[in-house]
Structures are given as C-alpha cells and as structure tokens.
Amino acid sequence: MNQEPSQIAVGQTLPEFSVETTAGIPFTHKDLMGHYTVIYFYPKDSTPGCTTEGRDFNQRLPEFTALNTSIYGASMDSMKRHHNFKTKQGFEFELISDPEGTFCALFGVYQLKKNFGIEYMGIVRSTFLFDPKGTLIHEWRKVKVKGHAQEVLETIQAHQNA
C-alpha cells in the first residue's frame, strides 16, 4: 500500500468511506453522527499490547456508553482473525477489518516502523475521537497502552463538561 501524506486533522470530518466490521454490516461516515465515536488503531490481533488495549476499552465500555460514545478497534487483520480475537477476549464493541489499508490511510497510521533495527510497514498505535457531528476533536498518536483507555474516557468527560 502506498500511503498519501494527507490525513485527517483535528477539526476536520472524514470523507465518505465504508469498511467491514465484526457486526457484519458496513461502518460508514454516517455512523459517526449523533454520538461520540472512538476509533483506535492497533497493529495486530492477539498480541500482548493489542490484547491489553482492547481489554482496557472493553472494561470501561459501560462508562463510554454512559457518555454516548461508541468504540471501534481497527487493524489490517482479516475478519476471521478479528472474530476469533473478539470472541476469545469477550469484546463487546466492534472491530474494523482493513486488509487493504485504505481506512488506515485516511488517518495516516500505516507508516514505516523500526523494531530491533529492522524497518517494516505497519500500523502505528493511534486513537481518534469524533464528536456527534462527525468532526475529529482529539487524536492520540504513538499511543502507549498503559492508562490510555482511561485518558480517552477522561478527555470525553472534559469535552462534555466544557
């Protein structure tokens, strides 16, 4: 996949898109309307950091729901891998499958990474928060998992109380 340098920025809305979710129905730009939406991108299903991050969001799901917020996890894994991961972990939110990386490109999260001196292309852990009008109001890039889901929750609370 060749990624364009342009990506969504805070204060912008996404162009029309449609991606597959574990619910078996497409997730589109219209699904961002009427509530807050968190889309978090993670590198790979069933890896330690990605499992911890998903569990943290899932554990706080009732609090997110009380704040009129939907959660979506997204990676380039296949729908089959997503279903297995979601079932095994008991996630109560949907996962987005983006095997071609087109959804990742909208957010600029598919980048050159380096691990133990080896360079490769992959998803940089990132989270995006949209308001009920579908406008990006906050982004976290190069996320560290520990405490992240709580920070996202607190950001939504602060925004709603402003």
The count of domains in the chain is 1
Q: Is residue 139 part of a domain?
A: yes
Q: What is the pLDDT of residue 135?
A: 96
pLDDT in tens, 100-148: 999 999 999 998 888 888 898 889 999 999 999 999 999 999 999 999 9
Catalytic machinery residues: 50
Q: Is residue 11 part of a domain?
A: no
Tell me the pLDDT of the chain averaged across its residues: 93
Q: What is the pLDDT of residue 2?
A: 40
Domain that holds residue 103: 18-161
**Does the pTM of the predicted model rise above 0.85?**
yes
Q: Which long-range contacts (CB under 8 A, 24 or more apart) does 64-69 make?
A: 64/38, 64/153, 64/156, 67/36, 67/153, 67/156, 67/157, 67/160, 68/35, 68/36, 68/132, 69/35, 69/36, 69/37, 69/38, 69/156
Q: Is residue 137 part of a domain?
A: yes
Q: Is residue 4 part of a domain?
A: no
* DSSP code of residue 32: G
Q: What is the pLDDT of residue 6?
A: 57
CATH number, domain with residue 57: 3.40.30.10
